[in-house]
Structure 1
């Protein structure tokens, strides 16, 4: 019977850039165990949404979010 030696893979990154983290994201270093990994995070409720850019002006706004859960 032949025996094989199993070695851990060697992965080297010169640079890692993370530009966005969302729900159920992860960056893992070292010994990790994510078997059956799951996320039950509820997303935000935005009554108006997001305002992006420069020199935006919002005034006299009323927003209502009705959320049963």
Structure 2
């Protein structure tokens, strides 16, 4: 389903943004982090620092909240 949805992104720029967004969500899932909590954390941190941040610190394994326990 993901592949079919990506075919109708509209423009190349939109497809790039969609790919980044989907990659972030999937990397959160693979690291057992709630994707919604992770995305909220990333967006709030970018807004708080006004973009002046080491983006390596925004990876899912550094997420302060939203870890899913088995």
The TM-score range, normalised by the shorter chain, is under 0.3
Greater CA radius of gyration, 1 or 2? 1
Q: TM-score, normalised by structure 1?
A: 0.22
Q: TM-score, normalised by structure 2?
A: 0.22
The higher relative CO (CA closer than 8 Å, separation ≥ 6) is in 2
Which structure has more helix as a fraction of its residues?
2
